[in-house]
A and B are shown apart, each in its own frame.
Chain A
């Protein structure tokens, strides 16, 4: 039995009248420009605005590599009719860090959001702790872009930002597919981390809506646990925990700075 979406039709090659030889050549997929090239481990350049620790040399982690329960979260906002999906995504990509809540820093590439970019993050996680981590731009096109997290990040997974027509208007959304990256983060998420994350994206979308001229932007939040099991085989991810490392790095900073200071003469 077959399951189908969209109208049935001739193959794409037949539709555009390619010769047999042209049709047999392996085509470059239309999505190729949107995807980042394959990387084994992340490489980063220093950027002003973020410490940039806990990113270089890390591997990417998707929901398969995470530890905790798997969550699917959606934050949606209706922009009305004044903005097209492409305009909304263009603004979001070009000014991404400006929409983040105060106290959090996103240091991306100067060109904005492009596939393969690595952005450095300094995140306020409470009690004066600033978590230094990063994200990788996995995919970007004119109507969506996706960030994937590295080892040590609070969660293993990806966030897709997209915009689409919904009736006469445009709807933007952030869609998160994630597992807490290790047992410590899983505890933190259960003890208020999820609430903080929800607030973070609601504030981000609200700021985007205000920039796009929406009066009184309202964000709809949906959160669903789609796999309640924890993946204990990944408990060792805690070794890379960027929160623990950030605290240790902050505590050690005065000593490392002193050891780097040149010896005074005389």
Chain B
């Protein structure tokens, strides 16, 4: 199977927050990319990870499953997950799968970061 196009850029914001800019297609095949981004954020000492879905082009159920495994991994390290940049379509998917009960969704980066430092 051809690997879908996905790019994840990690930005450290302050001492304890990292933003991951997600661009492209999120499927189960992208797990190594997501986990590499997570490990980079963790190395930077992030206690909270903010996922920017503004560049998300495609996500199937395998991608949602991958986010759950990321959530479990973060929770085990007592880290929090937040998200912003979700279109109405992807926000509905978060609500349908009830992932929004564990990953706090914000409207934009500013409010996500403000939520992060509260």
Measuring CB to CB, which residues of chain A are less than 8 angstroms from any residue of chain B?
1-9, 12, 26, 28-32, 34-39, 59-65, 70, 72, 138-139, 141, 144, 146, 148, 158, 160, 162, 164-166, 175, 177, 226-227, 229
Contact = CB atoms under 8 A, between A and B. Distances in A.
A61 B101 CA distance: 11
Interface in B72-87: 72, 75-76, 87
A164 B2 CA distance: 10
Nearest to B10: A1
A60 B30 contact: no
Given A3-B40, A4-B33, A5-B5, A31 B60 contact: yes
Interface string B8-36: 11100000000000001100111011101
20 contacts: A1-B9, A5-B30, A5-B32, A6-B2, A6-B4, A26-B87, A29-B58, A29-B87, A29-B89, A35-B92, A36-B96, A62-B99, A64-B68, A65-B101, A72-B69, A158-B61, A162-B62, A177-B65, A227-B75, A229-B76
Contact of A31 (B29, B34, B58, B97): B58
B60 A139 contact: yes
A30 B58 CA distance: 6
Given A3-B9, A138-B97, 13 more contacts: A3-B7, A4-B6, A4-B7, A6-B6, A9-B5, A29-B58, A35-B93, A38-B96, A64-B98, A144-B61, A148-B97, A175-B28, A175-B65
A185 to B, nearest CB: 18
Interface of B: 1-10, 24-25, 28-30, 32-34, 36-37, 40, 57-62, 65, 68-69, 71-72, 75-76, 87, 89-90, 92-93, 95-99, 101-102
Contact of A30 (B33, B57, B62, B101): B57
Nearest to B95: A38
Nearest to A227: B72
A141 B96 CA distance: 17
Nearest to A34: B60
Nearest to A72: B69
Contacts of A138: 61, 96-97
Contact of B69 (A12, A31, A226, A229): A226
A144 B58 CA distance: 15
Nearest to B68: A63
Given A3-B33, A4-B8, A62-B98, A31 B87 contact: no
A28 to B, nearest CB: 8
A6 B8 contact: no
Nearest to A140: B61
A175 to B, nearest CB: 7
A7 B5 CA distance: 7
A66 to B, nearest CB: 11
